[in-house]
Structure formats: structure tokens, C-alpha cells
Structure 1
Amino acid sequence: MSHDSLLFNIHDLVLVLAASQYVMLAILLLVTRRKGDISVCLLAAMLLITAVQELDTLFIWSNTLRQAVLNWHPNLLFLGSFSYWLQGPLLYGFVASVLYKQRPIRKRYLLHLLPALIAGVLLISHYYVLPRADKIAAMADLAFMWTPLMTHFMTVWHLSVLAYGGASLWLLWHYRRQLLERYANVEVSERRWLLWVVLGFMFIALWKLTVHLLGERVGEGLSNILGIASHYMAFIFVNALVFISIRYTHLFGGLGAEPTGGEPEPYKPEQVTRVSEYMHTDKPYLSADISLELLAKRLSLPERTLSRILNQHFGKNFFEFINSYRVEQTKHLLKEPDKQHWTMLQILAESGFTSKSTFNAIFKKQVGKTPSQYRKEQGL
């Protein structure tokens, strides 16, 4: 994946620009972050080590720069290699800290640093302890990069990013399930932008892994093109991150800790009756900000008990339970003759919904037709 012989060709400049933007975005996030915001710190750290990786790639694969570094100080090569193994853990830690604002940092998390330490020891024993002349000989024609050590090093690194990315996706899936158990308007608390951040890092890692595994099998020319394409992907991705950080970092709030206290006591028929009567008389579902926590307080019930009543007695999670009442309220409004001049936005707002897409999807799922179709069938 060697670059052209010019000191900085256009492909190298793209790599330098991407690294510069990663650094500038990290600094911007740190300067503007709220006090104690661990999410921003983790994202900034991830951006900084990604910048180090981009520069490390430039120094190794650019023939002219590599020769210059070898002549000046060969130990400067691979100085960023330790950071490769931090990208996955930092990505997972960032996702977890955004989703769960009260998630504690435990000492056992330090075990995620072990691969970086092992990689450092291996590089010291196989490269840094060599005499200067041997280092130059090993890297002058990139022979060291094709040794079993470095081949496995690069393969496992990319796989680790994909593994942590997969764990982050699972965390996002689990988080959404919790939202459905605790909120009625999940679009307010969803972190869909976070999904694209994870997928972006995973896609670039997968691309680089594919290029690495194909290697000489596809010929030097095609291999170089595929490798250079990853630089442009990094450049596009960091610009997307700039947009995301500007638009969404104010959402780094996260979900509070899950209700604790062990296994809840079995609920009583009186508690079920209390829930049903309150829903019909006070109509809390008309409030857009209703949540499991808020409803439990109003009913003087533990959150876990209320959650169990909804799941076991009514057979619904909180999201389904609240929105079933909202659908009934919508049907009632659509049948009212004096509401025929109301727009669908007015109808959904008066029913407790906050999103038109969620409103249409839930109504069609429960009724089998869209709100507009339902209104037409009323013949009013």
C-alpha cells in the first residue's frame, strides 16, 4: 500500500487533513464540554488516537516519509501502534457513557488495556531492541510489515475494533429495549446518530481488514488503490463527525440507572385496578413527557412493580401500554364531527404523540390502517 515518491502527494494530503480534523474536533469538544462530561472526554480520546493512527500509516506507507524517518530516527516508526488497541475499548466506553449517564467506571475496565500492553512488549522485543542498522533494513522495503508478527498484529487489531463495535451495537439494542420499558415517546431519547458513529468506525475497520487480508493476492496496483480509498473514507467520516458533534453533543445525557432493589414483590389485584382506573380518569397518556418513573410516582408504586404489572398483566411494555391508549384517543378524535377540520398534526398532539412517523406507525400497527384511511372510513 505504498504511496507515490513525492513528499506529499494528493493522497497523503487527504490523510494529513483527516488527522488534522480529528485533532481539531477533539480539541473543540474538550474546550466546549460540560464539566464532568466523561462522554466527550472518551470521544476526544478516540479522535486523538485515530489521528495518531492516520499519521502512523502515513509515516510507514509513504516511501519518501518512511525513508526520511528512518534516516532521522527509526524509533519514531510504530510509536502510534499502542493506540490501535485503544480504539475499540474507547468506542465501547463512549457508547456506554452516552447511553447510561450513571454507569460507574470500574477497575476491571483496565483489563481492556492489556492488548495494548502486549502489543507494546512485542514491538519492543521484535523491533525497538534491534540495532539501528537492522531497523533501517527491516523497514526500508517494508519487509518487517510482512512478518507473521505484524501480519497477525494488523489482523487482530481490526478484528478487535469490529468486536468492540459489535458489542456497542448490542448495547444500543439493549438500550432501546429499556426505552420501550420506560418511555412512551422513545424518539426523544433514542441515539440513532450514535448508531452511525459506531457503524462508521466498523466500516472503516472492515475495509482496512479486507485490504490487509487481500494484500498481494489482488496485485500491488489494486491493493494500493483500495488502501488509498480508506484515507478518503477517513476524511469523509471525520467531516460527518464534525456535523454530528455540532448537532448532537448536547444530547450526551444518557439513560439513568435502571431501577434497583432486587426482585419485586408479586403485584396485587388492587394495584392493577389502581393502574386501570388512573389511566381512564386522569389520562396521563395525553402528556408527552410521561415516563415509567413519573407514572409510578403518581400511582405510589415502585417502578419495578409497575413494570411487572404492565408486562405480566397487560402483556405490554410501557411504550406499547401508553400508546395503546393514545391510539384509542386518536380514534375518538377522528370520529368527532367537530374535529373534522383538524389536521393530523393537531390530532396527534392532542393524543399525546410527538412524532408524526411514530404516530402513523403505531396507529397502523394497532388498527391496520393509517389515520387518514380511518378518518375517511368514518364517512364524516
Structure 2
Amino acid sequence: MPLFYLYVNAVCYSDFTLNRQHLLHLIPFIVANLILVPRVYLAEGTAKEDFFTAMWSSPEMFVYQLIGELQFFFYIVGVFIILKKYKKIYLENYTNPNTLLYKWLFQLTIIFLFIHICIIFKNIIRYTTYNDLFIWLHILAGTSFLLAACWFILKALNYPELFRRIDSTLQPTKDFADNLEAENKTDETKNIQIEQLKNFIVEKEPFLEPSLTIQELAHQVEIPVRELSVLINHHLNQHFFDFVNEYRVKKAMTILKDASKKEITVLEILYEVGFNSKSSFHTSFKKYTNQTPTAFRNT
């Protein structure tokens, strides 16, 4: 689990690097193995055989498993916290964000949790007389892990775009919004900035750039990036992702209803308006129109 936790960090954050502090993650492993030193690693002959004969009823194995369970749930919670923060920051700073990455890692974590629950149940059954059930749970856990590993590899091969990461120095808007709000920014100033932003979006159409980020838009519209983030996420009550994709959908709606562009396919339109995947286009389009692009064109 420490390795999986570090892996999730490395996949999510572009500036993640291993350092000496990460050696602290070895502590549970070291403690768990120190417990086994006297009666396993240093024992010999009959003493070691006796230990393995009654291993699962020994206090060493009880403590060993307890440390393992505490470690697992500590890190699984840590992974969910990282993924929650990652999704929030991505939606607030990027368009066409890699929500696939979030969904993929979230699904993978759920699978690991399911497998581990099977293992816990299996270990409980170990101390009962239901030996057949123990064997089947053992097979279920092993098969699930094998399938998860195959799915993991196939997903990585089929979706190389999954691995787009964020800068760990980025913060969720709520972490700095109050400080900016405390500055002498009148409602009139904010309204002017919002109007300036909307006019710029309509006239210059920066949303046509598939990889547009809030930093790039802030530079173009000449509003400090944190102020722009607060304007969109708090005053317009939208994620940057939703804000930009709304304009993309409106542009797509115009093209779909244009009789002179009947020959242009939906796939061509989605790329033309700034989307870079069919799934994200259909999801966003249906969110704003309650229709698929094809159904909208035919109405």
C-alpha cells in the first residue's frame, strides 16, 4: 500500500519526486518484520518448525496482521484524499481535463479495497472449520488480483492520455478565495471583470484550444490567475472545466443547426470546437441540452 500511495502521487502530480522522507513509509514493514525476528528469522530446527505448525494462532502473527490491516486502511484513505483533491484542482484549472485518470485510479482503488475485504474475510474464515470456504475465498482474491493487474495494463496501453498530471503547488480555489475576497474588490469591479471575461471568450474564442488552462486564459484576458479562478469558481459558481465547455457546446450547437454544414460529421465538429475526445463531448453536450448531438441536429 505505501508503494500504491506513492504511485498515485506520481501519476497525479507532475513535480512528484522520491526523497528521503518517503523512507518513513518503510516503518510498518520494519516493525512487522522485527516482531518475527526471535521466533522466525533467528530460530532454528524444531523451534522454527513448532512456530510454523501453530503460526496462525501465535501472538506474533496476530500483531503482524493487525499492523497490516491498519497500514492498509490508513493508506487507502490517503489515496482517496489525494484523488478527491486531484479532481477538484483539475476541474478548476484545466479544460478537457483528465477525469479519465481520476475515474481509472478511483476504480483501481475500489478494486484493491474489494480484494482486501475478501482477504480479511478469508483470514477470519481461516480460524473456523469452514476450510472449503477458505479455499474458495483464497481463489477469489487471487483471481480478482490477477484480473485487476490485466485490466490495469490494458487500460494504460489503450489510454496513454490518462497520464496527464497536475502541478502539486496548485491549490483548490477555496483555500485562497477568502483572502482575495478580503481585499478591496467591490462588486462593481468583479462584475466588470466577469463582463470582460465573457466578452473575451465570445470574441476571441480561446476555448477552441483543446489544452486550454486557467493560467493561459488568465494571461490572455489579463486577469491574475487567482482572481480569475475565484471569479469562475465562486462568483459564476462553475468549475473552469464546465465554464469553458459550455462555450464549446454552444459553438457546437450553432454548427449542428447550420444547414450549410450538414455534411460535417459530429466527430469533426467536436474537434473543431475544442474537445479532444468523443466521450467528453457527448457528456458535456447532454449535460447542457439533455440531448445527444445527433438528436439535437435532427430536431
Which one of 270, 277, 286 corresponds to residue 208 of structure 2? 286
Kindly state the Cα deviation for residue 213 of structure 1 after the two structures are TM-superposed: 1.3
SS at match of 2:127: helix
Aligned equivalents of 1:257 and 1:231: distance in 2? 35
Aligned equivalents of 1:189 and 1:293: distance in 2? 22
Q: Does 1:352 align with 2:274?
A: yes
Equivalent in the alignment of 2:29: 116
Q: Does 1:271 align with 2:184?
A: no
Aligned equivalents of 1:349 and 1:281: distance in 2? 19
Q: Does 1:181 align with 2:92?
A: yes
One-letter amino acid matched to 1:283: E
One-letter amino acid matched to 2:4: L
Q: Residues 270 and 281 of structure 2 are in contact (CA less than 8 Å); yes or no, is this contact kept in structure 1?
A: yes
Equivalent in the alignment of 2:119: 208
Kindly state the Cα deviation for residue 345 of structure 1 after the two structures are TM-superposed: 1.5
Structure 2: 5+ residue stretches without partners: none
Change (3 A) 1:126 1:194: same
Kindly state the Cα deviation for residue 92 of structure 1 after the two structures are TM-superposed: 0.5
Kindly state the Cα deviation for residue 338 of structure 1 after the two structures are TM-superposed: 0.9
Aligned equivalents of 2:38 and 2:279: distance in 1? 58
Larger RCO: Structure 1 or Structure 2 (Cα < 8 Å, ≥ 6 residues apart)?
2
Kindly state the Cα deviation for residue 278 of structure 1 after the two structures are TM-superposed: 1.1
Aligned equivalents of 2:38 and 2:286: distance in 1? 64
Kindly state the Cα deviation for residue 241 of structure 1 after the two structures are TM-superposed: 4.3
Equivalent in the alignment of 1:133: 46
Aligned equivalents of 2:217 and 2:100: distance in 1? 18
Q: Deviations over 1:311-338 (max 9, x none)?
A: 2222211011101111221222222221
Aligned equivalents of 2:161 and 2:278: distance in 1? 23
Aligned equivalents of 2:226 and 2:211: distance in 1? 19
Equivalent in the alignment of 1:91: 4
Q: Deviations over 1:188-213 (max 9, x none)?
A: 87354433443443333222211001
The total of aligned residue pairs comes to 288
One-letter amino acid matched to 1:349: Y
Q: Residues 155 and 209 of structure 1 are in contact (CA less than 8 Å); yes or no, is this contact kept in structure 2?
A: no
Q: Deviations over 1:59-94 (max 9, x none)?
A: xxxxxxxxxxxxxxxxxxxxxxxxxxxxx1111011
Q: Residues 334 and 375 of structure 1 are in contact (CA less than 8 Å); yes or no, is this contact kept in structure 2?
A: yes
Q: Residues 91 and 97 of structure 2 are in contact (CA less than 8 Å); yes or no, is this contact kept in structure 1?
A: yes
Q: Deviations over 1:160-189 (max 9, x none)?
A: 224412321332232122111111101487
Q: Residues 214 and 229 of structure 2 are in contact (CA less than 8 Å); yes or no, is this contact kept in structure 1?
A: yes
Residues 146-157 of structure 1 mapped to structure 2, 5 A cutoff: 146-157=57-68
Residues 161-310 of structure 1 mapped to structure 2, 5 A cutoff: 161-187=72-98, 190-244=101-155, 246-247=157-158, 252=163, 254-259=165-170, 263-264=179-180, 268-269=189-190, 270-310=192-232
One-letter amino acid matched to 2:81: W
The TM-score, its normalising length taken from structure 1, stands at: 0.66
Aligned equivalents of 1:374 and 1:235: distance in 2? 43
Change (3 A) 1:327 1:266: farther
Structure 1: 5+ residue stretches without partners: 1-87
Residues 44-123 of structure 1 mapped to structure 2, 5 A cutoff: 88-103=1-16, 105=18, 108-123=21-36
SS at match of 1:369: coil
Question: RMSD in angstroms over aligned alpha carbons?
Answer: 2.9
Equivalent in the alignment of 1:3: none
Aligned equivalents of 2:157 and 2:259: distance in 1? 46
Aligned equivalents of 2:275 and 2:74: distance in 1? 37
One-letter amino acid matched to 2:261: K
Q: Residues 158 and 208 of structure 1 are in contact (CA less than 8 Å); yes or no, is this contact kept in structure 2?
A: no
Aligned equivalents of 2:114 and 2:184: distance in 1? 47
Equivalent in the alignment of 1:326: 248
Q: Residues 181 and 319 of structure 1 are in contact (CA less than 8 Å); yes or no, is this contact kept in structure 2?
A: yes
The TM-score, its normalising length taken from structure 2, stands at: 0.82
SS at match of 2:125: helix
Aligned equivalents of 2:282 and 2:143: distance in 1? 39
One-letter amino acid matched to 1:185: N
Which one of 278, 283, 288 corresponds to residue 366 of structure 1? 288
One-letter amino acid matched to 2:57: W
Kindly state the Cα deviation for residue 108 of structure 1 after the two structures are TM-superposed: 4.8
Aligned equivalents of 1:167 and 1:180: distance in 2? 20
